[in-house]
A and B are shown apart, each in its own frame.
Chain A
Amino acid sequence: MSSSARTSVVWLALSALTLASWWLRVVHDHGALSASTAATVGVLAVALVKGRLIIREFMEVRSAPVWLGWATDGWLSVVWVTILVMYLV
């Protein structure tokens, strides 16, 4: 797959994930806005996948020196785990 085709596939995946979070709220839950651990964990998981796709593919960390991969994965881990733990506790 060419670089430009790969970029477009990543963009499609990111857009689909964004629309999925909309669909979950508007269609599946009929716009309900009550607290839901399952929905929130799902939302955070989708955002984590989107964030890592942007970092690895658009920001090209995939082919960058290993330390940058560790730094960005470290950031993702600390921020997402902290948010999740604060939500659950």
Chain B
Amino acid sequence: MAAETSTASRADGRTLPGDINMWVFVLGDMVFFGAYCVIFMFYRTREQDMFLQSQRHLSLATGVINTLFLLTSSRFVALAVQAVRDGKHERATRLVGVGGLFGIAFVALKIHEWYVLSHHGFALSTNDFFMFYFALTAIHVFHVLLGMFVLGLVVRELRRDDLQRTWVVEAGATYWHMVDLIWVLLFAILYVMR
């Protein structure tokens, strides 16, 4: 196995996947999204009926399919990390590629959802619910796009025989799973809660 493993191993056998800097960044992002969701709830409690009526116009099926896209993508990226640890770099590259394709599918469906909603006259300015819906999903899609860039860096790393560092692949995967985690929270409060 040519890959250099920089993952921090400790005496108790516990290891930090990836890189401490990535974890600091990911935990910080989680705090920000948590705060956005609390602010959303603050407005929702003030106008609960209006939020519920507005929520009716979202397609639950689209939200569910997009959730399945990201969960499936995460699965392939998690399998890629395991393949790298086994020294199977070509397999890992393919798995990251498939994970990225599901990320593209997520973004495509999200853009379609925005298009359909705007076609029906819903926009940021419609009311507070749609202001939050469009803003939160747009910030999240920005993170998905950033995540796909990170997956691209991981593929580049895997294709270079002189690199193939396990911790780089782990750090990229940590970010990608965070994107999935945040979506699970957004899906619950925007599409399903009532």
Name B174's closest neighbour in chain A (CB-CB). Answer: A59
Q: Would you call A86 and B17 a contact (CB within 8 A)?
A: no
Closest 6 CB pairs of A and B: A47-B188, A11-B75, A79-B34, A86-B41, A58-B177, A60-B17
Name which residue of chain B comes closest to A36, CB basis: B194
Q: Which B residues are in CB contact (< 8 Å) with A47?
A: 184-185, 187-188
Give the chain A neighbours of B174 by CB distance below 8 A: 59
From A51, A72, A86, contact of B38 by CB (8 A): A86
Pick the interface stretch among B63-71, B103-111, B121-129.
B63-71
Q: Does B55 contact A33, Cβ atoms closer than 8 Å?
A: yes
A11-B75, A21-B192, A83-B37 known; A71+B181 contact, CB < 8 A: no
Convert B76-95 into 0s and 1s, putting 1 for each residue whose CB lies closer than 8 angstroms to a CB of A: 01110110000000000000
- Chain A, interface residues (CB within 8 Å), range: 35 or more
Known: A39-B194, A51-B181, A59-B17; 11 extra A-B contacts, CB below 8 A, are A7-B78, A11-B75, A22-B60, A33-B194, A35-B52, A36-B194, A51-B185, A55-B177, A58-B180, A59-B174, A72-B27
**Judging by beta carbons under 8 Å apart, are B34 and A59 in contact?**
no
In chain B, residues 9-59, which have Cβ atoms closer than 8 Å to a Cβ of chain A? 10, 12-17, 23, 27, 30-31, 34, 37-38, 41-42, 44-45, 48, 52-53, 55-56
Q: Which residues of the partner chain A approach B185 to less than 8 Å between Cβ atoms?
A: 47, 51, 79
What is the CA–CA distance of A14 and B60 in the complex, to the nearest angstrom? 17
Could you tell me if A87 and B10 are in contact, using CB atoms closer than 8 angstroms?
A: no
Given contacts A34-B52, A35-B52, A44-B193, contact A54 B17 (CB under 8 A): no
Q: Which of chain A's residues have a CB closer than 8 A to the CB of B27?
A: 71-72, 75
CB-CB under 8 A for A4 and B16, given A19-B64, A34-B194, A43-B188: no
With contacts A47-B185, A64-B17, A66-B14 taken as known, whether A59 is within 8 angstroms of B178 at the C-beta atoms is yes
Q: Which positions 6-64 of chain A face chain B at CB distance < 8 Å? A: 7-8, 10-11, 14-15, 18-19, 21-22, 25-26, 33-36, 39-40, 43-44, 46-47, 50-51, 54-55, 57-60, 63-64
